[in-house]
Amino acid sequence: MRTLPITLRLTLAYTAAMLLVLLAAGLFVALRLRADLDDRVNNNLQARNAAALNAYREGTSLAAVALEDPEESFVQLLDASGTVVQSGGEVVAPAVLPDEVREARDGRVVVERSLPGVDGPARVLATGLAADGQQLTMVTGQSLLDRNEALSSVVDSFLWGGLTSLLLASAAGYGLARAGLAPVEAMRRRAAEISMAGLPARLPLPPARDEVRRLGETLNAMLARIREAFERERRFVADASHELRTPLAVMRTELDGALLLRPGEPDVRLALQAVRSECCRLTRLADDLLVLARLDEGRLPLRTTSVDLGELLMLVRDQYADLAADAGRFITLDIPRTVSVQADPDRLRQVLSNLLDNAIRHGDGEIALRTSLMTDGVEICVSDHGHGFPTGFPDRAFERFSRADSTRSEAGAGLGLALVRAIADAHGGRVWITGNTETTVHLWLPRSSKLSPHSHLISAS
Structural domains in the chain, sorted by start: 7-149 (3.30.450.20), 211-278 (no CATH), 300-457 (3.30.565.10)
CA distance linking residue 280 with residue 304, whole number of Å: 26
Within 131-210, residue ranges assigned H as helices are 145-193
Burial of 69 (0-12, 13-18, 19+ CB in 10 A): middle
CA distance linking residue 13 with residue 448, whole number of Å: 57
Q: Which residues contact 241 (CB under 8 A, 6 or more apart)?
A: 286, 287, 289, 290, 293
CA distance linking residue 340 with residue 309, whole number of Å: 6
Q: Which phi and psi (to 5°) does residue 124 adopt?
A: -120, 135
Q: Is the pTM of this model over 0.85?
A: no
CA atoms in the 13 A half-sphere facing the CB of 414: 15
CA distance linking residue 381 with residue 354, whole number of Å: 13
154-164 pLDDT, tens digit each: 999 888 988 99
CA distance linking residue 440 with residue 334, whole number of Å: 14
Q: Is 367 helix (H, G, I), strand (E, B) or coil?
A: strand
Q: Are 165 and 174 a contacting pair, CB within 8 Å?
A: no
Tens of pLDDT along the chain (461 residues)?
677 888 888 888 989 999 999 999 989 999 999 999 999 999 999 998 888 888 888 888 888 888 877 788 999 998 888 888 888 888 888 999 988 888 888 888 999 999 888 888 999 999 988 877 788 899 999 999 989 999 999 999 888 988 998 999 899 988 988 888 888 888 888 888 776 555 567 888 888 888 888 888 898 888 888 877 777 766 766 666 666 666 777 777 777 777 676 665 676 667 766 777 777 767 766 776 666 666 666 566 778 889 988 899 999 999 888 888 888 898 999 887 778 888 989 889 988 988 998 888 888 889 999 998 887 889 999 998 876 666 666 677 787 766 655 443 444 556 778 888 888 888 889 999 887 667 889 999 997 765 554 454 443 33
CA distance linking residue 40 with residue 60, whole number of Å: 26
Q: Which phi and psi (to 5°) does residue 125 adopt?
A: -115, 120
Q: Are 11 and 19 a contacting pair, CB within 8 Å?
A: no
CA distance linking residue 254 with residue 277, whole number of Å: 13
Q: Are 458 and 305 a contacting pair, CB within 8 Å?
A: no
Identify the bridge partners of residue 292 per DSSP, sorted by sequence position: none
Q: Are 442 and 433 a contacting pair, CB within 8 Å?
A: yes
370-395 pLDDT, tens digit each: 998 887 889 999 998 876 666 666 67
Positive or negative CA dihedral for 312, 318, 320, 324? Answer: positive
Q: Is 151 helix (H, G, I), strand (E, B) or coil?
A: helix
